[in-house]
């Protein structure tokens, strides 16, 4: 695994070197850590999109997914739970990209943390959950209250969640522990 981390880090650093030369005024703001975070986040997002496309179109197949429920739940809500294809695909893809995002952040971006891996993962999931909540509330607010179009609303909210995520991961999930 260390070899894979080294290869990924070398690829990212390969792109950071020209960035420093072409835009030297931004290197005080866009540090190597921030560049790695952005690179890893973008790579994970593209992986999420590709995986979602493949699973939605070739595995789930645009079909409703019926999940049988235990007898107690059947008495409460019916015989089975029905998921639309796009939500079923999300349920498959989300845990995968959550773990790949965690792995990239832990081993490529925020390598200085000496917190136990399980604690990092738990904290990482908390930050992801916070971002899901910010997305939900933000979309409700922007689209339903303020009347903005959904796509620009999502773009603005994504910028906000990227900032929340970076600082949350740096100072909470992957911080350097001092007897934490």
Comparing C-alpha atoms, which of 120, 134, 1 is closest to residue 142?
134
What is the model's pTM? 0.82
Look-up of token digits 């910010």: 134
CB 32 within 8 A of CB 108: no
3-state secondary structure of 57: helix
pLDDT digits (tens, 9 = 90+) for 36-51: 999 999 999 999 999 9
51, 69 Cβ separation under 8 angstroms: no
For 161, what's the count of Cα atoms within 13 Å in the CB-facing half-sphere? 20
- Tell me: the pLDDT tens digits for 46-96? 999 999 999 999 998 888 888 887 776 666 666 778 888 888 898 899 999
Confidence of residue 17 (pLDDT cuts 50, 70, 90): confident
Helix locations, the chain, DSSP H = 2-22, 32-54, 71-77, 85-104, 117-139, 150-168
pLDDT tens for 98-111 read 999 999 999 999 99
């Amino acid at each position: 695994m260390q070899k894979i981390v080294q290869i990924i880090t070398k690829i990212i650093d390969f792109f950071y070197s020209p960035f420093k030369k072409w835009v030297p005024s931004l290197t005080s703001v866009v540090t190597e850590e921030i560049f790695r975070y952005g690179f890893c986040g973008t790579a994970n997002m593209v992986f999420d999109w590709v995986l979602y496309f493949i699973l939605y179109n070739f595995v789930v197949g645009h079909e409703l997914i019926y999940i049988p429920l235990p007898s107690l739940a059947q008495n409460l809500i019916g015989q089975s739970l029905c998921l639309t294809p796009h939500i079923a695909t999300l349920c498959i893809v989300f845990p995968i990209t959550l773990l790949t995002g965690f792995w990239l952040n832990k081993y490529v971006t925020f390598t200085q943390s000496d917190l136990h891996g399980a604690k990092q993962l738990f904290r990482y999931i908390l930050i992801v959950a916070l971002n899901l909540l910010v997305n939900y509330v933000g979309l409700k607010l922007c689209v339903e209250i303020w009347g903005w179009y959904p796509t620009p609303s999502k773009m603005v909210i994504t910028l906000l969640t990227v900032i929340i995520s970076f600082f949350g991961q740096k100072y909470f999930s992957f911080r350097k522990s001092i007897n934490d």
